[in-house]
A and B are shown apart, each in its own frame.
Chain A
Amino acid sequence: MTQSEPAGPPRRSPLLPVHQRLGATLTEFAGWQMPLRYESETAEHRAVRTAAGMFDLSHMGEIAVTGAGAGAALDYALVGQPSALAPGRARYTMICAADGGVLDDLIVYRLSDAEFLVVANAANTAVVSRELSGRSAGFDAGVTDQTADYALIAVQGPNAAAILAPVTDIDLAGVKYYASHDAVVCGRPVLLARTGYTGEDGFEMFCRPEDAEPLWTALTAAGAEHGLIPAGLAARDTLRLEAGMPLYGNELGPDMTPFDAGLGRVVKLDKPGDFVGRAALAQRAGQPPRRVLAGLTVRGRRVPRHGYSVLWDGQARGAVTSGAPSPTLGVPIAMAYLDPDVPGLAEAQAVTGADAQDTRLSIDIRGRGEPADLVTLPFYSRKR
């Protein structure tokens, strides 16, 4: 977890009083006071996998980029090509430094021809906002950090659409994955997007801060019969890990390129015009990977954590970036960066399960090597 916000009193979500009434365990995350869990994070995780969970994500950064040149400005500022998005569509992308290092991973929503919303990680919002402003200087585009103008509520899980359908004015079947739509939900105006960070179907609703509490309360009531419960950041982290999704500060950082994270596909080297990081990334694209992001399951019950060494025949050949007990798999899981020449890594697509190979691979869990197996990422994908 990165915490690059300056010290000071934590920022407060407009939903903080709701979390306090619910008895949430609060944590300071990226300068915000946010719910870590309400009761059992494992139960919250399972609710999202089997029914639905509701998250307060108001700490996420919302940065508006507007103007006739907004698309061109974002094409220059980011590694993707937002100008090619149709209005109402969204894309996962990244902002890189000139040396190709990742400054943040982002979702860019095109709201209209001349209006984009860039959603950044809380810890990086200030950096992203500053970089977007600087990089837009030569374009007909304005950049505004609107984080304080939005609350963000996510409803995630197989029952998400069934919960929202009766309380919104739009046809959810018309909102595809990675699409967004202006909508009224429980009487409140929102930007409704079919996006998430859990590996499940689900929706994210950007609303006015003053609408957040009434919306949360109404959704709680609407979702009760569908098994909807509030879920905190602890469940969000294990859900995204099972889904093989990177977390900035763990799998992504300024010392690595998108290619190192196995996400070179987000770099659109064939888009017209220059963009920040192009030269470094073009060079990097042609080289063999320096390290490979891999999935590991542990045969025992001790849990690998961020920073632990991954061993091949007892020699350190990589490091864990994220690790947790997986509620869905029932075993500890981890993502790790490994040397590309670790045997079996190339075949990891084909290798699955604890019986696939003898255990020359282990994770150094506080001084003891715990046998581990390479598995194909993601650990979990929903049935569609």
Chain B
Amino acid sequence: MTVPQQLRYTAEHEWVAIEGQAASVGITEHAADALGDVVYVSPPTPGTKVTAGEPCGEIESTKSVSDLYSPVGGEVTDVNADIEDDPGLVNSDPYGAGWLFKVRLDDEPPSDLLTAEQYAELISAEG
């Protein structure tokens, strides 16, 4: 299971890439595998405020629906329009073309984001 070094993670299986005040968010390969085929993503609308650790959208797969949580707080600046047409990108390229939304950070990112090592440990403990 791939867990890229440069990203930060949450226990809800989101990843976040932070550069200055800009953050990109997606779900991890582990999460995508557990969900199965993603058929629909309802990301937060650009312009809305999201709060770290709060639900901000949903992800539908064949068998289930899951809340999408934002790993960071701020204003949503962009959503991945390609996901609308091809939600399977979340499965095929979760850390790349399958990104979900971007946020302009309000503040410092939360201090409890997980490193790649910590997240890898979390998912290996989950089995």
Name A's B-contacting residues (CB within 8 A).
Answer: 25, 36-37, 40-42, 234, 237-238, 301-303, 305, 324-325, 366
Q: Is the CB of B37 closer than 8 A to any CB of chain A?
A: yes
A301 pairs with B39, CB closer than 8 A: yes
Counting residue pairs across A and B whose Cβ atoms lie within 8 Å, the total is 44
Measured CB to CB, the closest approach of chain A to B102, in angstroms, equals: 22
We find that the number of chain B residues with CB closer than 8 angstroms to chain A is: 14
Given A25-B36, A37-B36, A234-B36, CB of A42 within 8 Å of CB of B42? no
A325 pairs with B39, CB closer than 8 A: yes
Name B's A-contacting residues (CB within 8 A).
Answer: 33, 36-37, 39-40, 42, 58, 60, 62-65, 88, 91
Measured CB to CB, the closest approach of chain B to A178, in angstroms, equals: 29
Given A42-B62, A234-B62, A325-B60, CB of A302 within 8 Å of CB of B33? no
Question: Which 4 residue pairs across A and B have the least CB separation, nearest first?
Answer: A325-B39, A301-B40, A42-B37, A303-B60
A303 pairs with B37, CB closer than 8 A: no
User: Whose C-beta in chain B lies nearest to the C-beta of A233?
Assistant: B63
Measured CB to CB, the closest approach of chain A to B105, in angstroms, equals: 29
What separation, in Å, do the CA atoms of A234 and B64 have in the docked complex? 11
Interchain Cβ contacts under 8 Å between A and B, 28 examples:
A25-B33, A36-B63, A40-B91, A41-B37, A41-B62, A41-B63, A42-B37, A42-B39, A42-B62, A42-B88, A234-B62, A237-B63, A238-B62, A301-B39, A301-B40, A301-B60, A302-B40, A302-B42, A302-B58, A302-B60, A302-B65, A303-B39, A305-B64, A324-B62, A324-B63, A325-B60, A325-B62, A366-B58
Query: Which residues of chain A are near B37, meaning CB under 8 Å?
Result: 40-42
Query: Which residues of chain B are near A366, meaning CB under 8 Å?
Result: 58, 65
Measured CB to CB, the closest approach of chain A to B30, in angstroms, equals: 12
Given A234-B63, A325-B60, CB of A303 within 8 Å of CB of B40? yes
Given A40-B91, A41-B37, A325-B39, CB of A305 within 8 Å of CB of B65? yes
